[in-house]
Chain A
């Protein structure tokens, strides 16, 4: 499967007479966009706004972030099974508006979901302070069932992203660069590079219930048994987020589209490892489901015949048990593991980092301590509603101060400790 990402770089975003891209400036026809979003009768109101890097703007509570993409060729359309018809994606050419994110915001439940600051201390921790953001803020109609409303918000984000990319492509926008991703069929992949270790990727998807769900080709991933997916399919939106809990380490759709683990495995492919494929698995609540998924995912890795796997987690708490179960089973099967996680080690960093551990987990990458405290200065403008700061995950009584500043744990910052490495914290050895 071969996929070309045709990336057009966007320097800024503005409202305009038509939705188009010219000289790196994305113009958006606000009325046309609002007209499309308001067709969903589940929304009482929809507002859209723009936010640029460096502005004194706070966006909260953020649910999902989506990168605008659409297919040029290769069959199907991005976000299959959700915003588009179910068709296999991951081949051909895909158009990408790079440097833009669609952020969805609004009250879903009276806590959770994230904060994105476009400047100040908080901006240093969220990747979405560096993107030109189109923010859609929703209010549901009275009496709507909460699952319905979540689905409406999810679909609105995906449709907006698809709309932006399609309009620009139809208007003649050209890519500034083309990235090519290609992995052969499994029999050829396994025969290639016999001198290099065969490496797979076990991609854990959060699937514990409302706000904790992930969708694969439109299927709620808690209802799948682990499966093999081509890495290119993730770049065409085969995996989408069911909105966020917790903000710091829930993988938004934007991050699924730009998974750094997959990108890095591609970069190393043929040099110091042979990247042979991706196994998606879930993170359930019931212990029997956890054991089934872990056993099945590692069985797939054994059937493929990998020498090692990278395992990434999503979320914390009981998903730590899935991570460790996957690690132990793989290592005991003779498959080496590297784990990617984050830590909840208390505000002073002195507490146990994960809810579970095993001696086989001896190669672990951390994305940071989500309990670390951060002071967010007051902003000149808030898009959305900041009255939930006291009850947001990572917030506490008194989080929001009278002057508009906020004291929270990093947990409240969207993408701050992303366990795919799409965050801004890290350490290097010098």
Chain B
């Protein structure tokens, strides 16, 4: 596995702002925030670890249509599941309300949600990804 960081997101603004590199992959997921979590869960079951906390600050997962998660590969192909990441994921998923999908919001609100998601992830992503645009 050559890329050992992966960013899973349903936020198109993340793909506008960043580019994949030799060591870090950007993966766009179609759908709701819960679909992003499902992709992350598969990675965690395969031994990957979260780089950012999967709980949003001040949003219920069902109230923010976009979700961006950064994960790091384990050094070994046979790594056990990282229980801290597993536990954080399960807690973050413990929201029984229907997720808000981007299409349910007006275009302006979609954009605002996308900006807030990208801004929250900025400090994390700036460390691992090349920027497509220099102005932030």
**What is the interface of chain A, defined by CB distance below 8 A to chain B?**
109-112, 145-146, 206, 208-212, 222, 245-246, 249-250, 283-290, 315-321, 344, 352, 355-356, 391, 393
CB distance A222 to B123 under 8 Å? Answer: yes
Query: 15 new A-B pairs (CB below 8 Å) besides A286-B52, A356-B91?
Result: A109-B113, A109-B115, A110-B106, A208-B57, A208-B58, A210-B116, A211-B116, A285-B53, A285-B123, A285-B124, A287-B53, A317-B59, A318-B55, A321-B53, A321-B55
Contacting residues of chain B (109-136) with chain A, CB-CB under 8 angstroms: 109, 112-113, 115-116, 119-124, 127, 135
**Chain A CB within 8 A of B94 CB:** yes
* B residues in contact (CB < 8 Å) with A: 50-60, 63, 88, 91-92, 94, 105-106, 108-109, 112-113, 115-116, 119-124, 127, 135
Distance (whole angstroms) from the CB of A246 to the closest CB of chain B: 5
| Cβ-closest chain A residue relative to B54 | A318
Show 12 A/B contacts (Cβ-Cβ < 8 Å), sorted by A. Answer: A109-B112, A111-B113, A208-B120, A209-B119, A222-B123, A245-B58, A286-B51, A286-B53, A321-B53, A352-B94, A355-B55, A393-B63
Q: Choose one: A206, A210, A250, A393; the contact of B119 (CB below 8 Å).
A: A210
A245–B63 alpha-carbon span in the complex (Å): 13
Give the distance to chain B from A414, nearest Cβ to Cβ, in Å: 14
Q: How far is the CA of A249 from the CA of B59 in the complex (A)?
A: 12
A320 and B55 contacting across the interface, CB-CB below 8 Å: yes
In the complex, A147 Cα to B113 Cα: how many Å?
14
Contacts of B60 in A (CB 8 A): 317, 344
A355 to B91, alpha carbons, bound, how many Å?
A: 7
A295 to chain B, nearest CB (A): 16
| Minimal Cβ-Cβ distance residue in B for A394 | B63
The answer to whether B51 touches A209 (Cβ under 8 A) is no
Instruction: Give 7 closest A-B pairs by Cβ, nearest first.
Output: A109-B112, A318-B55, A209-B119, A210-B119, A318-B53, A110-B109, A208-B57
Closest CB of chain A to B46's CB: distance in Å?
A: 19
CB–CB A110/B112 < 8 A = yes
Is A290 in contact with B53, judged by CB distance below 8 angstroms? yes
A364–B91 CA distance with the chains assembled, in angstroms: 20
With both chains docked as a complex, state the minimum distance between the C-beta of B27 and any C-beta of chain A, in angstroms. 19
**Cross-chain contact A283 with B57 (CB below 8 angstroms):** yes
Residues of B within 8 A of A315 (CB): 57-58
